[in-house]
Structure formats: structure tokens, C-alpha cells
């Protein structure tokens, strides 16, 4: 991130924010791999910011994705590449754990890394005006009253074709990648959820196969208005 954005996100993130302010508003967007969550999130942020006439920096809606990794690494005083394995649901071997504990100035266990990531995600939810993509954000922020939790879905074949075309790979390669990432994301959700994988955590499901990105964004904005999030 650039320095202005880094300062902005650092100012917004407060691990104990639950005690300091009325949490939210926050939108989380989860998806089956191959659904255009980033595109939809960017469109939503632009539309929400256009609707606000007198917004301040703190009221500006921001899309949160890689910022979670960046802020977590900063909290742990390490590099993002050192903790990225958690998002891929990979585990260190006992040998790797031992060697890293001997060589690293700031050594952190899997538990410490996951707990920090969870606190960062919670911080973005509590501070509000965040659109958080994936990372089990719905499960972590489900209890925030001023929140809306979205799940993007589509048939497997559609996701395969969409991913293959957008990444210029073969359908066979796309099938392998989608199956792998869908499985990893389900494991990640279960790891961070307090009640299983928490299917009920989502307020609404949208089919990216049958609805355009613009139609989905328009519907999300209407739901946010009905829930008095904007």
C-alpha cells in the first residue's frame, strides 16, 4: 500500500474497537471461486461513495482484501509472505516450526497468526465503511448489527468457463484450480467460524451466472438502505 493508504487503514484498525464505538456498517462478500467478487466490490464501493454527499475520510467506503494480510503482518512484525500460507490453509511441518523458531527474531505459532488475522478482520468490521472480500469475514462479523453478508454463487461449469477465459488457461486446468481453492476456502471458513461453516451467516445469495454485476450491486445497495446501513 502507499503511505497515505497505510496511515488510513492503520488509523481505522483498532483491535478493541468493539468497546470504543457502535460497530459497522460493514459488508462482507464471500464467493465460490470463479465468481467476480473483486469487480462487484469495486462497483459497490464506487456507488456507495457517490451516494454520500458530505463524506469524510472515515466515511469513505473501502474494499478490503489484501489489506488484511498487510495489517496482520504489520501487527506481527513480519512479512506478508511469511503468513500467507494461512489463507491457503497450509500448515507448517514440525521441522519448519522448529527451524523458524530458532532463526526468526519474531516467531509466531499458527494459533497466534490466525488469532491476529481474526482480530484484524474484526477491526475492519467494527470500524465500519468496509467491504470485506472473503477471509471468513461473514463468520467473524456476523454479530455486528449494522452489517450485510453476501454470498456469490454460480454453477460449477459456468465458473470453470469464466475462470478459464479470464485467465487464459484450459478448462481442465480451471477445474483443478477451482476444486482446490473451493476446498481450501471451506476449510478456512471452518477454521475461523465459531459455529461450523455457518451457512446461515449469509443474509443473501446472488447468482453471478444469471445476474449482471450491475444488477447485483443495485440489489445490495437497496438492501443496505432497507437495513439503514446507508
pLDDT in tens, 158-168: 999 999 998 99
For CA atoms 98, 103, 108, 110, the dihedral sign is negative
Question: Higher-confidence residue: 101 or 89?
Answer: 89
Highest-scoring range by mean pLDDT, 1-15, 99-113, 143-157: 143-157
Instruction: Tell me what the mean pLDDT of segment 24-44 comes to.
Output: 95
**212 close to 36: Cβ distance less than 8 angstroms:** no
Select from 3.40.50.300, 1.10.600.10, 3.40.50.20, 1.10.10.10 the CATH code of 3-226.
3.40.50.300
What mean pLDDT is reported for the chain?
81
Identify the pLDDT of residue 2: 43
512484525: which residue's cell? Answer: 77
Closest CA to 136 of 171, 176, 92, 89: 89
User: How many other CB atoms sit within 10 Å of the CB of residue 125?
Assistant: 28
Identify the pLDDT of residue 190: 76
Instruction: Tell me what the mean pLDDT of segment 134-141 comes to.
Output: 90
Q: Would you give the distance in Å from CA 105 to the centre of its chain?
A: 29
**64 close to 161: Cβ distance less than 8 angstroms:** no
pLDDT in tens, 167-182: 999 999 999 999 988 8
Grade residue 4 by pLDDT with cuts at 50, 70 and 90.
Answer: very low
Of 36-50, 102-116, 201-215, the one with minimum mean pLDDT is 102-116
- Rounded percentage of the chain residues whose pLDDT exceeds 90: 50
Identify the pLDDT of residue 88: 63
pLDDT in tens, 58-90: 789 999 998 898 888 888 888 777 777 776 655
Closest CA to 224 of 150, 133, 136, 154: 150
497466534: which residue's cell? Answer: 112
**168 close to 53: Cβ distance less than 8 angstroms:** no
Identify the pLDDT of residue 11: 45
**What are the grid coordinates assigned to 159, written together?**
465458473
Does pLDDT of 102 surpass 70?
no
Amino acid at each position: 500500500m502507499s503511505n497515505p493508504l497505510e496511515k488510513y487503514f492503520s488509523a481505522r484498525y483498532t483491535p478493541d474497537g468493539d468497546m470504543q464505538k457502535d460497530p459497522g456498517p460493514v459488508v462482507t462478500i464471500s464467493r465460490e471461486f470463479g465468481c467476480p467478487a473483486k469487480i462487484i466490490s469495486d462497483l459497490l464501493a464506487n456507488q456507495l461513495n457517490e451516494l454520500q454527499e458530505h463524506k469524510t475520510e472515515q466515511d469513505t467506503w473501502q474494499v478490503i482484501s489484501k489489506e488484511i494480510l498487510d495489517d496482520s503482518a504489520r501487527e506481527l512484525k513480519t512479512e506478508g509472505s511469511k503468513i500467507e500460507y494461512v489463507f491457503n490453509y497450509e500448515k507448517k511441518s514440525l521441522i519448519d516450526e522448529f527451524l523458524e523458531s530458532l532463526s526468526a527474531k519474531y516467531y509466531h505459532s499458527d494459533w497466534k497468526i490466525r488469532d491476529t488475522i481474526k482480530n484484524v478482520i474484526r477491526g475492519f468490521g467494527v470500524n465500519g465503511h468496509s467491504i470485506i472480500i472473503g477471509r471468513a469475514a461473514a463468520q467473524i462479523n456476523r454479530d455486528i448489527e449494522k452489517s450485510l453478508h453476501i454470498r456469490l454463487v454460480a454453477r460449477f461449469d459456468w465458473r470453470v468457463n469464466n475462470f478459464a477465459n479470464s485467465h487464459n488457461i484450459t478448462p481442465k486446468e480451471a477445474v483443478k484450480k477451482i476444486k482446490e481453492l473451493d476446498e481450501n476456502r471451506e476449510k478456512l471458513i471452518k477454521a475461523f467460524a465459531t459455529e461450523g461453516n455457518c451457512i446461515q451467516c449469509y443474509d443473501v445469495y446472488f447468482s453471478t451466472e444469471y445476474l449482471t454485476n450491475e444488477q447485483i450491486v443495485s440489489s445490495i445497495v437497496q438492501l443496505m438502505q432497507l437495513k439503514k446501513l446507508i
